[in-house]
Chains A and B, each alone.
Chain A
Amino acid sequence: MRPQREYHIVVLGAGVPMRRAQFVQNVWIESYDPTIEDSYRKQIEVDGRQCILEILDTAGTEQFTAMRELYMKQGQGFLLVFSITSMSSLNELSELREQIIRIKDDENVPIVIVGNKSDLEEDRAVPRARAFGLSQKWGNAPYYETSARRRANVNEVFVDLCRQIIRKDSEGSRTSSDPNRKREGPNRHDRKRDNRRPRRRGPCVIL
């Protein structure tokens, strides 16, 4: 058994409620206190390995644009969240991703796109195809749709992201002498293969 690892996940995306609250808590809780430790740390099992995720979500401080870099630097993996009821929330993600890549100076930063689904499908403003389009444009960044109320896919999102980070880590130690660019090949390939599952699964979940 390997020792536990800690990973820093940053949740980004403007105007999307119920993010951290929904992600971190495994059960729908009656009373959510954002200041207690349980509210931002989460333990998950990824491929038989226990991982602790420290989740940074700065919802409410979107206007402090200068702070964003600080948050981004903190992260090893990113959840880019938009609301399926708001097209503009999807469009905002591109800018965020650009910034992440610039700051990390890495095209392959572990990213998962999350379509946050309020339970009402009829309010949907972002067609799935649109989201998948974005996903493909971003080098097949996995796309999930989650439901706060039903807690659908929430764990999967974290497992996927965590797996990406772990893979990156191990690749890093293997290919440390290689230039940055070269790592993209297998990585991209991996992800493609991997993404099939979530991509298939995400939209198919009946919520």
Chain B
Amino acid sequence: MESMKPHIPPLKISKSNSNLSESSNDAKSIPSRFYSAWGSSEMTPPLTPKDTQDTNMDQPEAPRPVFHNYLRAFYPFHPAGNVSPSTVTLPLDQGDIILVHSVHTNGWADGTLLDSGNRGWLPTNYCEAYDQLPMRPLLKALTDFWDIIRGGCGSSLKDFGNQDLMRGPIAGVRFLLEKSECLTRESPLVRRFDGLRRIRKALLSDLSSLVKTAKKFQEVANGVPSEDEVEAILDEMLLKAFKIVTRGVRFLDVWNEEVGLSRTIAEMDGPGDSIDQYSMPPTPASESFNLGENDGPARSESRMLESRMESRMESRQMSHSRMDMSRSSMRTEMVDQRPVSVATKRVSISHRMSVSGPSTAISAQNLASERLGTTYDAFLGVLGSFIGLHMQSRSSTELVVTTQQAVQSCRQLLNVVEVVCEHDTHRSVFLEQARESMCEKLSELVHAARDVFRPAHLPDDDLVFMPDEGKRLVDAATDCVRAAGNCLAKARLVLEQIGDLELDPEHFEERGKDLPGIASPQDEPETRVEQERQELSPRLPPPPLQIPTTTYSPPTPALTDSTTPSSFQSHLSNSPANITAISSTPNSAILPTHLDNISSFSSADSNYPESHPKSDVSESFGRGVTSNGSSFTYHSHTRDSEMSGVSQTSTRATSPDIGGSFQGSFTVHSLKESLSYSTLAEENEETEANILEKTFAHELIYKEGSVMGGSLRALIEKLTAHQSTPDAMFVSTFYLTFRLFATPLEFAQALAERFEYIGDTPHAAGPVRLRVYNIFKGWLESHWRHDRDNTALDFIINFANTRLMVDLPTAGKRLLDLANKVSAVGGPLVPRLISSMGKTNTSIAQYIHPDTPLPPPVLGKKEHNLLRQWKNGEASITILDFDPLELARQLTIKESRIFCSILPEELLDTEWTRKTGSLAVNVRAMSTLSTDLAHLVADSILYLEEPKKRAATIKHWVKIANKCLELNNYDSLMAIICSLNLSMISRLKKTWDIVSQKTKTALEQLRSIVDVSRNYAVLRQRLQNHVPPCLPFVGTYLTDLTFVDHGNQSLRTLSTDDSEMAVINFDKHMKTARIISELQRFQIPYRLTEVPELQAWMQNELVRVRSNGETTAQTFYRRSLVLEPREPSRSGNTLQSQSESIPSMFDNAKDKFDFLSWTNQSKAKSVTTHG
């Protein structure tokens, strides 16, 4: 594959188009991978087997090292500081797309974050190759774009002089839309999926913005631009190109979620059909070429982009001056253009109102405005393939076909235009001119095409048409686009003035056979467009058309469609505070057409009011979510991924996203708040279907968009919703905690019941049943607890055998297989992936190449000898004999081993506090080890007679603790510091007098890290930013879990109309699962070399101190008193008065160093305030 270059070529990206043919061929050859998982193969061998689960399911080829131009962040990466001072790391959010320039052998890649344009180092193991087939041409185009602009040494301005640069992105977008069957606005998918429609719109608007900038660049380049000016615009273009790609990726995400599910089902029924399904509808059309028209909105969009860019750039190392230039130039542009842009906006608004009404009525098809839009779209679609694909070599026959299509569609367009002209010749003067201009351009196109075809007659040259030769063709096509756009705008204007009219279909068909011949010389269309626009504005607003409002918006003029709303969107994603401002911007004229968006706001980004009934807000709100939401969406993909096989694709299809989940929540809300929604004409049908569906959604409690509680069947319904998936956390929580609120058998029965009753709702039955199956499957595969769940096994087998087998035979068989395996195997089938939210995070580790040798133990001959002698009972050894680092390492290995084996169920229901029969063996082992270690510290100090030796041992422990900190081993650190802080140690004044100030300072620092005040604020803060390997202090998790468990009731009260019912407090379980997942995030073993001899000695020591049993503490205290007996307490000490709670005998020590002051920081503070 083209984009998979050999491993590790440092930033060698070709600067020519030579790869293009390769890539296009390639693209055709593997359509089957279209709907498969993210990326095609792993960049690097995964750290643990766990993180391969996502990709390996439907991946035939073995992972091999390849160079990917694009990565997608799989996990957020927010390093606390730079990894090393000399490098710049690139913080990543989930779902971010990165253009990779080079990959270092250590796994770090030099990349540019498309979202922000920032460049830096990023860990490739946080990412996954992004190489989705539909995106390839677009990605490729961006690579080229980058190369030309950034690597473009020596390329003259003339290279950008034509619009060549733009064709790549345009073609890419088109390819994407085509592959996703969303080329035209009327395509079924776009009509059906609102989220898709919106993101498609935004994508096109981004594209138009880029083209706009490119045009501006052209103008600048034709003048005598300064270096800076050029640079600024190039930067701007690059960022816009980035944005397009980002948007494209999101588009594909949304597509996969919204459309993918139905495909999955189709695939299940007959895998062979799937490819056919994706073949293109024969009427391609595109909005991407009306770019020249929508000057104003596009500009406002670019303005938004610009401002966003500004804020992002400020902190970065990219040239500030350049950005300043770009900013200022943009501003002057804006000022100049403002009147125009406002005018255009108003045009678009009125268009929206007048044209968007009619749709379902058959008569509406013949309305002139309708027809105009359709034909225009069709024409542009065809021309789009001309321009867009011109760079790629292709067969001449294809070209012929496209040209014919172009002519045909152009004729149709001209037909409509002509009718409009005839209708009111008076006002159509401009239109007439535009039409003639268009005819001229079309004939030029036909001529050009004819010329190009000539070589095709030569026998040897039949197949390939060279891009160079097509130059003229492309230029002609571009001109056509312009002319057509112009024509359309005029025609629309006329229509608005004269009112819409119905076309006689027959009349329509007869016309225009001779059109391409018509040719009369015209002005340069470009300038005329400008003129026209100037003339248009004063006449606005035109009278609205008298068109009955119906349910679906017909193809509205691209002019309005792709631009205005997206600028709202960019507002919105900038700050939620803008909502009010925006809601006032669109006047009432817009509202009706956007009602269809209303339901989307219930998808609840918590920034926004959840169920705001105002449609104008919802419009912008929905958009805001769209743009913001996709990282979240992606997030859930990765998590859902633990469901394998079929579920892999199906969960993707339904992961919670804006478009998807709003429907789900709509179901719910429509029941509760049907009043406020029932007026929405556009949702009527769907609502109806939803209402007819049997549902227990009324038994759910929502708060801020998330499920707080519900009855078991309602929760199961949510778990298996067909229009949306609850997020992965919901699913994981279910698996993890369902045993706390239902028996396994109840759970299984509830699932089976769901399978049954959804049958009453035919349109939803398929997906829901598939989901039910998947839930069963995931349970058996990775969440099965033999100790608890075996009671449900018979039921599941029976269900698989009977009910499931009837409807989904394949699934039934698989489930049966699984159930049999489960009963045969003792452990989980798939490596334990409980609550995947934690485990999939396992690869958030510092990247270490698998081949990197483990660090060698710091252990010399002497130490080995000592250990051998100790083993033979010949010598006794102390910690002083070993290097602090090595001791810290061995401690870490020891603790890490226990920590990593903690199972989530040990953490449920305060299992670990159970006095007898606790299953939480590993949690118990952690606390035991921790206590033993603390005792060992005390023991090693207190059994030394000489203060000097004690001081030396203290020093050594401080060093060990420091090394533990370096290893991110907070658990051992905590134990050591605790121990050094024990009163029996801290009271040893004579000893501490000898301890050096340096050691005390170090200890003080360590202490401040494990400080318990403010609920371990320091420690928590640190952990938040850590990447594994890391050993957090388990105690904080245990405390949090305890409080969640005890602080939240297990039931909630749900008030229904006539009564109250107690439902499961799912929120409690979500909280629990979240804490557990946080702990699991760190369950990654360290890469350290174990020294068995040293481990043996340590183990022996730990066991020795443990054997003292319960009385250890008292023994130590007595020992401490023996070593340094109590002194009569001193008084008159300045510090004493300030802190009573500090035992007076410590005050001497305090005189020397403020060793204990940390315990009473706040008190010291408070005392100073009053004296």
Task: Judge whether B1035 and A58 touch: CB under 8 Å.
Answer: yes
Identify A172's interface contact among B975, B1043, B1044, B1137, CB under 8 A: B1137
B1143 touches A67 (CB 8 A): no
Q: What's the Cα separation between A66 and B1113 when bound, in Å? A: 9
B1163:A76 contact, CB within 8 angstroms: yes
CA separation between A15 and B1040, bound complex, in Å? 15
Q: Which residue of A lies closest to B1137 (CB)?
A: A176
B321 at the interface (CB under 8 A from A): no
Q: Establish whether residues A66 and B934, one from each chain, have CB atoms under 8 Å apart when the complex forms.
A: yes
Instruction: For the complex, give the distance between the alpha carbons of A5 and B1141 in Å.
Output: 16
Tell me the bound Cα distance from A30 to B1117 in angstroms: 45
User: Which among A32, A54, A102 is the interface contact of B1013 at CB below 8 angstroms?
Assistant: A54
In the assembly, what is the distance between CA of A31 and CA of B934, in Å?
A: 36
Which residues 37-66 in A have Cβ within 8 Å of B in the complex? Answer: 37, 39-40, 54, 56-66
Any chain A CB within 8 A of the CB of B931? yes
13 further A-B contacts with Cβ under 8 Å, apart from A3-B1169, A17-B1045, A58-B1039, are A5-B1166, A22-B1047, A33-B1071, A34-B1015, A34-B1043, A37-B1014, A37-B1015, A54-B1162, A60-B1042, A63-B924, A67-B1035, A74-B1012, A74-B1159
Q: Which 5 A-B pairs have the closest CB atoms?
A: A105-B1143, A176-B1137, A21-B1047, A60-B1042, A32-B1047
Chain A residues with CB under 8 Å of B1139's CB are 172
- Identify the closest chain A residue to B1068 (Cβ): A31
Asked if B1013 contacts A39 (CB within 8 A), the reply is no
A61 x B1035 contact (CB < 8 A):
yes
Query: Cβ of A35: which chain B residues have Cβ within 8 Å of it?
Result: 1015, 1020, 1040
Given A57-B1039, A168-B1140, A69 and B1166 touching (CB < 8 A)? Answer: no
Candidates B935, B1141, B1163; contact of A106 at CB < 8 Å:
B1141
Q: Which of A125-133, A155-163, A177-185, A190-198 has 4 or more CB atoms under 8 Å from chain B?
A: A177-185
A98 and B503 alpha carbons, distance in the complex (Å): 97
CA distance A66 to B1169 in the complex (A): 34
Interface segment, one of B397-405, B596-604, B978-986: B978-986
Mark each residue of chain A from 140 to 184: 1 if its CB lies under 8 Å from any CB of chain B, else 0: 000000000000000000000000000011011100111110000
Q: Is A97 an interface residue (CB 8 A)?
A: no
Do the beta carbons of B983 and A40 come within 8 Å of each other?
no
**Chain A residues closer than 8 Å to B457, beta-carbon distance:** none
CB pair A66–B975 under 8 Å, yes or no, is: yes
- In the complex, whether A205 has a CB less than 8 A from a CB of chain B is no
Q: Which residue on B lies nearest to A105, using beta carbons?
A: B1143
- The answer to whether A70 and B1012 touch across the interface, beta carbons within 8 angstroms, is yes
Residue A8 CB within 8 A of the other chain: yes
User: 6 A–B contact pairs at CB < 8 A?
Assistant: A6-B1165, A59-B1046, A60-B1038, A105-B983, A172-B1137, A173-B1137
Which of B377-385, B508-516, B822-830, B1128-1136 lies at the interface?
B1128-1136
CB < 8 Å neighbour of B1144 from A31, A69, A169, A180: A180
Evaluate contact between A69 and B978: CB separation under 8 angstroms: yes
Contact A70 B978 (CB under 8 A): yes
Nearest-neighbour CB distance to chain A for B678, whole angstroms, equals 30
CB distance from B170 to the nearest CB of A (A): 49
Contact A59 B1043 (CB under 8 A): yes
CA distance A104 to B912 in the complex (A): 30
Q: Report the minimum CB–CB distance from B1158 to chain A (whole Å).
A: 9
CB distance from B920 to the nearest CB of A (A): 10
A189 within 8 A of B: no
Interface code A68-103, partner B: CB below 8 Å = 1, 0 otherwise?
011101111000000000000000000000010011
What A residues does B1013 contact at CB under 8 A? 8, 54, 56, 74
Q: Which residues of A contact B931 (CB under 8 A)?
A: 63-66
| Given contact pairs A57-B1039, A67-B974, A106-B1143, A40 touches B1015 in the complex (Cβ within 8 A) | yes
Cα-based distance from A109 to B1131 in the complex (angstroms): 19
A168 to B1166, CA, bound (A): 13
Closest to B974 in A: A67
Chain B 913-948 interface residues, beta-carbon cutoff 8 Å to A: 913, 924, 927-928, 930-931, 933-935
The reply to whether the CB of B28 lies closer than 8 angstroms to some CB of chain A is no
Contact B913 A60 (CB under 8 A): yes
B990-1021 contacts to A, CB under 8 A, are 1010, 1012-1015, 1020
Does A137 count as interface, using CB distance less than 8 angstroms? no
Instruction: Give complex CA distance A59, B978 in Å.
Output: 17
Task: State whether the Cβ of B910 lies closer than 8 Å to any Cβ in chain A.
Answer: yes
Is B1067 located at the chain interface by the 8 A CB criterion? Answer: yes
Inter-chain CA distance A37–B1146, complex, in Å, is 32
Cα A174 to Cα B1144 in complex, Å, equals 16
- For the complex, is B270 an interface residue (Cβ under 8 Å from A)? no
Query: Does B856 belong to the interface (CB within 8 Å)?
Result: no
Q: Which residue on chain B has the smallest CB distance to residue A58?
A: B1039
Interface string of B524-566 (1 = CB under 8 A from A): 0000000000000000000000000000000000000000000
Q: Is the CB of B1166 within 8 A of A6?
A: yes
Between B933, B1143, B1160, the greatest number of chain A beta carbons within 10 A of the residue's beta carbon is seen for: B1143
Smallest distance from the beta carbon of B795 to chain A beta carbons, Å? Answer: 33
B101 CB–A CB distance under 8 Å: no
The answer to whether A103 and B1131 touch across the interface, beta carbons within 8 angstroms, is no
Contacts of A177 in B (CB 8 A): 1131-1132, 1137
B913 cross-chain contacts in A, Cβ below 8 A:
15, 60, 62-63
What CA separation (Å) do A145 and B1040 show in the bound complex? 25
Are B1145 and A73 within 8 A (Cβ)?
Answer: no
Kindly report which residue of chain B lies nearest to residue A71, judged by CB atoms. Answer: B1012
- The answer to the question of A20 belonging to the interface, with a C-beta cut-off of 8 Å to chain B, is yes
> A63-B924, A102-B1117, A105-B1144 are contacts. A34–B1039 as well, Cβ < 8 Å?
yes
Which residue of A is nearest B1014, CB measured?
A54
Is B32 in the interface zone, CB < 8 Å from A?
no
B949 to chain A, nearest CB (A): 23
Q: Which residues of B contact A64 (CB under 8 A)?
A: 927, 930-931, 1035
A interface footprint on B96-127 (CB within 8 Å = 1, 0 otherwise): 00000000000000000000000000000000
| Residue B681 at the chain A interface, CB threshold 8 Å | no
Asked whether B1052 is an interface residue with its Cβ less than 8 Å from the other chain, the reply is: yes
Q: Which residues of B contact A179 (CB under 8 A)?
A: 1129, 1131
Question: Smallest distance from the beta carbon of B1098 to chain A beta carbons, Å?
Answer: 17
A64 to B1138 CA separation, bound complex (whole angstroms): 31
Are B1014 and A40 in contact, CB atoms less than 8 angstroms apart?
A: yes
* In the assembled complex, B775 has its CB within 8 A of some CB on chain A: no
Minimum CB distance partner of A178 in chain B: B1131
Cβ of B426 under 8 Å from chain A: no
> Are A106's CB and B1140's CB within 8 A?
yes
Give chain B nearest CB distance to A13 CB in angstroms.
13
In the assembled complex, which residues on chain B have CB atoms less than 8 Å from the CB atom of A104? 1141-1143
Q: Cα distance A9–B280 when bound, in Å?
A: 70
A106 — which chain B residues lie within 8 A by C-beta? Answer: 1140-1141, 1143
Pick the residue among A31, A73, A75 that contacts B1048 (CB under 8 A): A31
Contacts of B1145 in A (CB 8 A): 105
- CB-CB under 8 A from A67, the residues of chain B are 930, 934, 974, 978, 1035
State the CA gap A173–B1159 with chains docked (Å): 19
Chain A residues near B1160: list those with CB within 8 A: 76
- B873 at interface by CB-CB < 8 Å: no
Q: Is the CB of A34 within 8 A of B1159?
A: no
- CB-CB under 8 A from A58, the residues of chain B are 1012, 1035, 1039
Q: Which residues of chain B come closer than 8 Å to A176, judged between CB atoms? A: 1131, 1136-1137
**Cβ-neighbour of B1046 out of A3, A17, A63, A109 (below 8 A):** A17
Chain B, Cβ-Cβ closest to A148: B1046
B1170 at the interface (CB under 8 A from A): yes
Distance from B555 Cβ to chain A, minimum over Cβ atoms (Å): 47
Q: Assess the A69–B981 pair: CB atoms within 8 A.
A: yes
C-alpha spacing A71/B1170, complex, angstroms: 26
Taking the closest CB of chain A, its distance from the CB of B48, in whole angstroms, is: 28
A75 to B708, CA, bound (A): 36
- CB neighbours (8 Å) of B928 from chain A are 63
Indicate if the CB atoms of B1129 and A8 lie closer than 8 Å. no
Of residues 727 through 781 on chain B, the ones whose CB sits less than 8 Å from some CB of chain A are none
- In the docked arrangement, what's the CA distance between A5 and B1113, Å? 34
**How many Å lie between the Cα of A8 and that of B1012 in the bound state?**
11
